């Protein structure tokens, strides 16, 4: 018999797409008011993996990833997704989003993203929100799965998440992780 126990807190992660810089800055400001200080923030890069968002958001679209300083209870992901959905709606213009925020939880074992869309590999949580298993930690690094979005397969993101995992372990234990971080294969060359 398994005995249920509360899981460790996770690192709050967000993937952000934006087409309007001022709305992006407003989104970041609002998220820090809701979730606390940012822990780390990537440089914006041009998002060109798909044109799926262009009709709604226009062009060009930029991609940023961020984590927050405070660790969160894993069962709060639904409330977090509802908050980011409301923020997207508030920052919309003429019914179209200018910012797309995908919150997720980074744990030592995985990265999950919260979504309102059902699919075969997504597990229903509550309030219309599903958990999308996006990456799994295996053999010293985060690894994509067959359904992982192309931008979440990027070796630079996998490296970023590996470093954030080391930081997560340090935050929990107040000591450096015992196992060294392994660079993603494509970065060793």
Q: What is the CATH number of the domain that holds 93?
A: 3.30.70
34: which 2 tokens?
């809701």
Identify whether 49 is part of a domain: yes
Q: Which residues lie across from 114 on neighbouring strands?
A: 131
Identify whether 160 is part of a domain: yes
Q: How many domains does the chain have?
A: 1
Identify whether 139 is part of a domain: yes
**Domain residue limits at 113:** 10-187
Identify whether 153 is part of a domain: yes
In whole angstroms, give the CA distance from residue 19 to residue 21.
6
Q: Over the stretch 171-189, which tens digit does the pLDDT of each residue have?
A: 988 876 666 666 666 554 4
Identify whether 54 is part of a domain: yes
pLDDT by residue for the chain (189 residues), tens digit each? 889 999 999 999 999 999 999 999 999 999 999 999 999 999 999 999 989 999 999 999 999 999 999 999 999 999 999 999 999 999 999 999 999 999 999 999 999 999 999 999 999 999 999 999 999 999 889 999 999 999 999 999 999 999 999 999 999 888 766 666 666 665 544
Identify whether 4 is part of a domain: no
CA nearest 99: which of 29, 10, 153, 12? 29
CA nearest 97: which of 67, 55, 133, 42? 55
Identify whether 60 is part of a domain: yes
């Amino acid at each position: 018999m398994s005995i249920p126990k509360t899981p460790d807190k996770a690192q709050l992660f967000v993937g952000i797409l934006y087409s309007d810089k001022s709305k992006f800055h407003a989104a970041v400001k609002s998220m820090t008011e809701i979730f606390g200080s940012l822990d780390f923030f990537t440089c914006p890069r041009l998002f060109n993996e798909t044109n799926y968002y262009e009709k709604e958001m226009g062009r060009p679209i930029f991609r940023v990833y961020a984590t927050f300083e405070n660790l969160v209870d894993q069962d709060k992901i639904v409330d977090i997704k509802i908050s980011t959905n409301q923020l997207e709606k508030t920052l919309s213009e003429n019914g179209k989003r200018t910012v797309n925020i995908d919150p997720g939880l980074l744990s030592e074992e995985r990265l999950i993203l919260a979504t309102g869309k059902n699919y075969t590999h997504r597990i229903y949580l509550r309030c219309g929100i599903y958990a999308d298993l996006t990456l799994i930690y295996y053999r010293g690094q985060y690894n994509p799965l067959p359904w992982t979005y192309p931008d979440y397969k990027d070796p630079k993101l996998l490296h970023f998440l590996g470093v954030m995992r080391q930081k997560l372990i340090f935050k929990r234990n107040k000591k450096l992780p015992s196992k060294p971080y392994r660079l993603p294969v494509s970065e060793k060359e």
